[in-house]
Amino acid sequence: MPASDTVRIPLPDDRAYDIRIGSGLLDEAASWQGLPKAAAAVIVSNDRVAPMYAQRLRERLLAVYARVDVVELPDGEQHKDWASLNRVFDHLLAQALDRKTVLFALGGGVVGDMTGFAAATYMRGVPFVQVPTTLLAQVDSSVGGKTAINHPLGKNMLGAFYQPERVIADLDTLDTLPDRELRAGLAEVIKYGPIADADFLSWIEGNLDALLARDKAALAHAVRRSCEIKADVVGQDEKEQGLRAILNFGHTIGHAIESGLGYGEWLHGEAVACGMVLAADLSHRLGLMPADFTAQLRTLIERAGLPVVPPRLGGDRYLQLMRVDKKAEAGAIRFVLIEALGQAGLHAVPDALIVETLTAHGAA
């Protein structure tokens, strides 16, 4: 049996679940045993991932469920919408699949978020399993129970908190991931160091080349430690009343870059990477961290092949974009800042200081 790791995500009311991480998990019978019993399972995937992995998963699931269907959605963030969601519901209803049907989300964060939302709402809730196939989905989106689709007026604006039954992160699926997507996922891995674990940050610095070369042992450690940190935070603050916000380090400026350039221009992880460099600089300007920290983080992010220079959108435009951030309160823009290596908190930052940082990095 291939070696695998399990991280448990602690939640009340019988909702705790396991994240299994390892090579070969897709083909291992044990990955799919002990899930809720049902007459049917439905694999939800997209037209890029399904041709590579859906039949393999289907064969394994047929050992457990009498019937296993595959619903293939169009690939891409632009299809994370009502129309795609409805294709899932159309299938479930047309086939008269009952409220015990188990959904399997096979793909990246887009498929995972949509399948989770479908599971949360089909007949007021059916069980679902996350089978993340991007690094970003394995370290971030498949864990924690946020599900959503986009609205033309805002990203992830329609959704629900709804936890999966299990997460199966097969590291072998990352073999087919494009380099640019791998690096974007690494941005979220790097994020966990400064906010929660100084030793993990050092480990990433020492093992970045192995990660970029997709060394399985290195990836296994990176995914496991990232999931442990996310599980710990979500276990304490499932619905983002407070602490969970620290997972948004780099995201305030990151979101401004993404929406300012138009979604799809920079990948989410690329924008977050650059946003972390600027948030590090703000942490320094507020007197929380030494200037060395900004340089340290910039060096790591650059080595990961991620952008460190923000697009020149102008200070006013950045401020305008950041004021719509979900963390903004009473007009003040709030940032997740680093208070010590491995510790983060939310801080309101005066506009003048934000513009100083933007200017220093060529964004204003």
Q: Give me the least distance between CB of 109 and ligand NAD, in Å please.
A: 2
Structure tokens at 180: 């640019």
Return the number of the residue (23 or 133) whose C-beta is nearest ligand NAD: 133
Q: Give me the least distance between CB of 158 and ligand NAD, in Å please.
A: 12
Give binding residues for Zn(2+) as ranges: 188, 251, 268
Among the listed residues 71, 136, 168, 289, the single contact to ligand NAD using CB under 6 A? 136
Q: From residue 36 to residue 75, what is the string marking binding to ligand NAD with x (rule CB under 6 A)?
A: ----------x-xx-------------------------x
* Residue 146 binding ligand NAD, by CB under 6 A: yes
100 is catalytic: no
Among the listed residues 137, 211, 234, 273, the single contact to ligand NAD using CB under 6 A? 137
Among the listed residues 23, 31, 115, 173, the single contact to ligand NAD using CB under 6 A? 173
C-alpha separations of 325 from 154, 173, 253, 322, 334 in Å: 11, 33, 9, 5, 9
For residue 216, give the H/E element and its range.
Answer: helix 216-236
Return d(Cα 300, Cα 315) in angstroms, integer: 26
Query: Across-strand partners of 9?
Result: 17
Label the pairing between strands 166-170 and 17-22: parallel
Q: From residue 94 to residue 133, what is the string marking binding to ligand NAD with x (rule CB under 6 A)?
A: -------------xxxxx-x-------------------x
* Residue 250 binding ligand NAD, by CB under 6 A: no
C-alpha separations of 54 from 27, 58, 71, 72, 99 in Å: 11, 6, 10, 9, 23
Return d(Cα 231, Cα 17) in angstroms, integer: 10
Q: Label residues 37-58 b or e (16+ Cβ within 10 Å = b).
A: ebebbbbbbbebbbeebbeebb
Q: Where are the alpha helices (DSSP H) in 290-337?
A: 291-303, 315-323
Q: Give me the least distance between CB of 1 and ligand NAD, in Å please.
A: 22
C-alpha torsion angle, residues 234, 157, 173, 130 (rounded to 10): 60
Q: Give me the least distance between CB of 75 and ligand NAD, in Å please.
A: 4
Site of interaction with ligand NAD (CB under 6 A)? 46, 48-49, 75, 77, 80, 107-111, 113, 133-134, 136-137, 140-141, 144, 146, 156, 173, 176-177, 181, 268
